[in-house]
Amino acid sequence: MRRLAAVLLVLTLTGCGGGDGMPEPAPTGTAAPPSPEPARHKTLSLSCDDTEVRLPTMPAKLKRAGSFAQLPSLARRLDVEGRIWRRNDEHLYVGVVCGVRTAEQFATLVARSTLTAYQGRPALRWTTKSGMRNFMWLERPGTAVYIGATPGLATQIRPIAAGVSVGLGQ
Say which CATH number the domain at 152 has. Answer: 3.40.1000
In a domain, 101, yes or no: yes
| Number of domains forming the structure of the chain | 1
In a domain, 25, yes or no: no
pLDDT bracket for residue 60 (50, 70, 90): confident
Predicted pLDDT at 8: 45
Please give the backbone phi and psi of residue 101, each rounded to the nearest 5 degrees, phi first. Answer: -100, -25
In a domain, 80, yes or no: yes
In a domain, 118, yes or no: yes
Which residues are within 8 A (CB) of 24 and not within 5 positions of it... i.e. 6 or more apart?
17, 18, 120
pTM for the model stands at 0.76
- Interatomic CA distance for residues 8 and 30, integer angstroms: 32
The boundaries of the domain holding residue 61 are 2-18+42-168
- Interatomic CA distance for residues 153 and 91, integer angstroms: 7
> Is residue 10 scored above 50 in pLDDT?
no
In a domain, 23, yes or no: no
In a domain, 28, yes or no: no
In a domain, 29, yes or no: no
The tens digit of pLDDT for each residue in 109-139 reads: 999 999 999 999 999 999 999 999 999 999 9
Predicted pLDDT at 43: 72
In a domain, 111, yes or no: yes
